[in-house]
Chain A
């Protein structure tokens, strides 16, 4: 024992510094690997559903938009095909179903930062931020709250150049093993919505001033409830032709 202690004591300050940095590098590398692994596992789970069709009820609760809840069918096909089919007009978030898939598909294009854990609906979720390596794309930052035990995204905040920031909360049920949610709640920032009278052709309305005052810093929600999943039954390409 005495001999070993003496050996340690004989390490020069240079060597101690080297060991310290090696330790830091190893720690950082393990974090990257873990973050990438978590993302990969979530993505792999989502990839189990090559295609699916699902019944959706879309409820729009935005201060600027008055629309009744509507029923629709949603078709999704990997890697990036997506369609909403409805007799009614359906309003869905621009960063909808396929955006997350796109982001998760290539971890080489993003820096994965593992952050703290946080409780989301009583589930301990790992917060992971994804920052694109290139600044040429639309995505600025993706922040994901992931249930690492079930490989499920519980919550996401996507910030993009073109479409602003959107918060999405997911709840899962029967098809959690495919990573497919039963409900999604999108929270949309609506403070930028302003419609000129000339475009609205509503020249006699005096509502514009009132709207400007009332709708500062308000948020709206789009709630999509999903049921009757039909997974991996094959969907024709013609479905996605507009």
Chain B
């Protein structure tokens, strides 16, 4: 019954035009980035290497599919939450707005299972959005720019990863990015349980992301204690996969913070959904 309910939720997501906005946006944005890189990628490369150019020169295929894929992932992972929240923020509040929530909750399935099936459907949608992003960024990137070593510029230096050492890092990088996006899906679903319209949860989710990102970016001692526990601090945890050696302690801490947020928010959503008034 749970899986049938999840299937139904997936059908609902597929049937809504807004579900394709995310995919279309990714296709358009990645297409534009690929075009820009093809026409003027050298400028971007010189920006990457400029801190070292006083003494060093870089030889080889610097602008390759791996680098382009990494750049796209880096650029888009900030914007993908909006595309995710667009769909997951509507999962419960959309039903309330359309008046279908009463009918939904009269089914012989517990409210917990209904919410979890909606959540699972939201996670599956998130997964496909990221798979599409990965396809556009890495597969199209490699097709257009070829293969080569990946040059990762970090604030503490430059890491050059050999091409045969990159694929598994992308795989786990996307897995961690997926966890970050699931965190966003959970947040918007939780807001969705509190709202009777779709706009509220989407705007609230983005508002929280913007607020936490600002707190995380401003280097004020006041925020030093809370910064490590903000989920936005750990949304870029996928970048740890592109470190050499891997910073496992930092990675585990980020995963723990994200998972903790997911469980707490899902708990709040379940609590609220169990007690949601559908009569008024």
Contacts and interface: CB of A to CB of B under 8 A. Distances in A.
B52 A65 contact: yes
A70 B163 CA distance: 12
Contacts of A70: 162
B277 interface: no
Across the A-B interface, the 9 shortest Cβ-Cβ residue pairs: A207-B156, A64-B157, A67-B160, A84-B59, A89-B60, A90-B59, A202-B155, A200-B155, A89-B149
Interface of B: 47-48, 50-62, 74-75, 148-149, 151, 153-160, 162-163, 213, 216-217, 233-234, 236, 239, 244
Given A89-B59, A199-B47, A162 B54 contact: yes
A66 B159 contact: yes
Given A66-B158, A199-B47, A90 B58 contact: yes
A164 B234 CA distance: 39
A210 B51 contact: no
Contact of B149 (A88, A204, A205): A88
B157 A86 contact: no
Contact of A204 (B51, B62, B157, B233): B233
Contacts of B213: 203
A66 B244 contact: yes
A140 to B, nearest CB: 14
A81 interface: no
Interface of B is mostly: mixed
B167 to A, nearest CB: 16
Interface stretch (A2-10, A131-139, A190-198): A190-198
Contacts of A93: 55-57
A65 B160 contact: yes
Nearest to A209: B219
Contacts of A15: none
A192 B54 contact: yes
A195 B160 contact: no
B153 A164 contact: no
Given A88-B60, A92-B57, A162-B54, A65 B158 contact: yes
Interface string A10-47: 00000000000000000000000000000000000000
A117 interface: no
A163 interface: yes
A193 B239 CA distance: 21
Contact of B148 (A89, A188, A204, A205): A89
A87 B164 CA distance: 11
Contacts of B160: 65-68, 88-89, 91
B269 to A, nearest CB: 26
Contacts of B158: 64-67, 195
Contacts of B54: 94, 162-164, 192
Contact of A205 (B62, B154, B234): B154
Contact of B151 (A84, A89, A189, A196): A89
6 contacts: A84-B59, A86-B59, A87-B60, A87-B163, A89-B160, A162-B54
Contact of A166 (B47, B55, B162, B217): B55
A203 B57 contact: no
Contacts of B239: 202
Contacts of A211: 155-157
A173 interface: no
Which of B52, B59, B159, B216: most chain A CB closer than 10 A?
B59
A95 to B, nearest CB: 8
Given A88-B149, A89-B148, A203-B217, A64 B55 contact: no
B160 to A, nearest CB: 4
Nearest to B213: A203
A181 B75 CA distance: 45
Which of A189, A196, A202: most chain B CB closer than 10 A?
A202
A208 B160 CA distance: 19
Interface string A72-97: 10000000000111111111111110
Contacts of B217: 203
A25 B210 CA distance: 77
